[in-house]
Chain A
Amino acid sequence: MNRTMTTKTFVLLLTLALFALVLFGCPLIGPTTVSWAKVFQAWPPSPDNQDAQIFFSVRLPRNLLAALAGAAMACAGIVFQAVLRNPLACPFTLGVAGGSSFGAVVAILLGLTALSHGFSLVTLFSFLGALLSLFLVYSLASLLRSYSAITLLLAGVAINYFFNALVLLVYYVADFTQAYAMIHWMVGSLDVVEWASVVKLSLGIGVGFLVLLALARELNLLSAGEELAQVKGVPTTRVIILAIVVASLMTSAVVALTGPIAFVGLIIPHIYRLWIGNDHRFLLPCSTLGGGAFLMVCDTVARSFFGPSEVPVGVLTALLGVPVLLWLLFRRRTYLAV
């Protein structure tokens, strides 16, 4: 069952190639087919080159957003699973989904859907909501003077339920149009996006990923147990707080733009755990790239094959991801037996 370095490196390179292929391939697919040759006919592309306009102004930024969102979710999923030592943990385990949904629905209820400084107020509110939920979870943990897995897990679940109840309350008092907008936001979608926000997001996600990658070996030890990590020389409390804060910020930033897209952060990590094992030095980059590629594919399917309208990408992630996970699970039953 041990995977050699060569296998792990091969899977990493394969995932990287897949990521690159999907990043530039998916924008060619859609209700209007775009030709690669035509897009790069001339550089810079002329304004009347319709293929280039669709490619660069509409589909590429959207595809990049999908890549960033999927990558951040899968990366954060790995980190939460390792630190909380819980295979069911995902980026939303510490209440980020509840908090950000609450922020978004409040903004929608108050009619704050206009843009301000290039950002929608709904985005801003949802980011603040996510931060609020994290602040509450950490306050609870520090009140109890424990950052152990079980404290964080229980605090996160409690805060998430609390915000979900508030979301339902807001939903209940909203009118029909607002309620539709709220549901649309909560399912998660990638439809409205500008280059500016994609660039800002990519900087944030990139820095976050590098910080977490530098903690890969500590994550190996933490996922094996807090005491074990400490006796092998890991300053556990410091590393746990750093990893969780970075992963949470990445999640909050993505969720504020896209809504809580479910399952990517849970399924992609497990697919790679089954495939290459639990060494975070490989698991983290593989999962991050794989999550990005997976969400790009899902989004392409969601916007292309259900014309004239789109299917919310959050629905497709589950429909496409679950069979892959189950297939791997049946192939490697020992995964469950340990």
Chain B
Amino acid sequence: MPLFEIQNLSFRYPSHSGFELHSTNLSIEQGGLVGLLGPNGAGKSTLLKLMVGLAAPQQGRVVFEGKPLKDLPVRERARKIAYVPQGLHFTFPLSVMEIVEMGRHPYLGRLKPLGAQDRQICERALSLCDALEFKDRSYGELSGGERQRVLLASALAQTPRVLLLDEPTLSLDLSHQILLFEIIRKLHREEGLTVVVATHELNLAGRFLDRLVLMKGGKVFAEGAPKKVLTPRNIHSVLEVEVDQLKPKGGFPYFVPKKKLNIVSPSERGGIRGS
């Protein structure tokens, strides 16, 4: 039985006429390490939000562990599915530990304070994310890469079965991007977590993830092993860029973007002619 089954899912925002997701079908196996790829507006983030129950689909359903997700109470959901949104900003400054401890919320009774075991889980989550050293600092003082690791640790503190990450490497430098993907891989391997990552990093996704889902216009365009999905032809059709493929010996092929395809706006054309 797959962990997640997305059945004929359609979703559109109330203020939009077009669909974000259109009759999407997808299944995610227990223990998978899956990447969602595709251009902006392809529906990656929306799909993640539907998978954690932050939005309700107009049509179709999300089935989690064989049961409809909407029948699972929010607390139960938070014990099994952890989600890290992109670009989180806190109005009121919080310390790193306060943010990580939030992950224990679904396990605590109304008046029950955090126990020794909860604290242990939080510290372990921080150390798994290479973030234990700044546990006493304020979140606001951290760099982008450090913040992302803290949010990841807060999600891990939920001791979930599945981790959904929405563009975790957004605005990180290259070494922090690699570090984050290494952490994700380690969590998958050592903790047995199912991980679904929405990302724009084709090369890192190809190298670190086991299965990729390429999305376009709210639909699944291609899915499967990275080698099968990431081909110049698919990238050409979905991302509308031409790429050079570099093949290191025995390694995963790398893609270097060359140029954007033929879509030139009328004003640009006019400008070129005018000059």
Interface size in chain B (residues, C-beta < 8 A): 37
A81 → chain B closest CB, angstroms: 8
Q: A225-B88, A338-B93 are in contact. List 19 more A-B contacts (CB 8 A).
A: A2-B136, A85-B91, A214-B110, A220-B98, A224-B90, A227-B54, A228-B85, A228-B102, A230-B74, A231-B81, A233-B77, A233-B79, A234-B74, A277-B93, A277-B98, A278-B93, A334-B93, A338-B139, A338-B140
Q: What count of chain A residues pass the 8 Å CB interface test?
A: 32
B93 touches A232 (CB 8 A): no
Q: Is B105 an interface residue (CB 8 A)?
A: yes
Interfacial residues of chain B within 95-121, with CB under 8 A of chain A in the complex: 95-99, 102-103, 105-106, 108, 110-111
A180 contacts chain B at the CB level, 8 A cutoff: no
- A145 nearest CB across to chain B (Å): 9
**B95 and A277 within 8 A (CB):** yes
Chain A CB within 8 A of B201 CB? no
Q: Which of B79, B94, B106 contacts A277 (CB 8 A)?
A: B94
With A234-B74, A235-B74, A278-B92 known as contacts, the answer to whether A337 contacts B140 (CB < 8 A) is yes
Residues of B in contact with A (beta carbons under 8 Å apart): 52-54, 74-75, 77-79, 81-83, 85, 88, 90-99, 102-103, 105-106, 108, 110-111, 136-141, 158
- Shortest C-beta distance, A219 to chain B (Å), equals 10
Tell me the minimal C-beta distance from A55 to chain B in angstroms.
Answer: 37
Instruction: Give the residues in chain A near B138, CB-CB below 8 Å.
Output: 1-2, 334, 338
- Residues in chain A near residue B75, CB distance under 8 A: 233
Chain A residues proximal to chain B, CB less than 8 Å: 1-3, 81-82, 85-87, 214, 217-218, 220-221, 223-225, 227-228, 230-235, 273, 277-279, 334-335, 337-338
Q: At the interface, is chain B mostly helix, strand, loop or mixed?
A: mixed
Set of chain B residues within 8 Å of A82, measured between Cβ atoms? 92
The complex places the Cα of A3 from the Cα of B141 at a distance, in Å, of 15
**Cα distance, A230 to B83, chains bound together (Å):** 10
Contact A273 B92 (CB under 8 A): yes
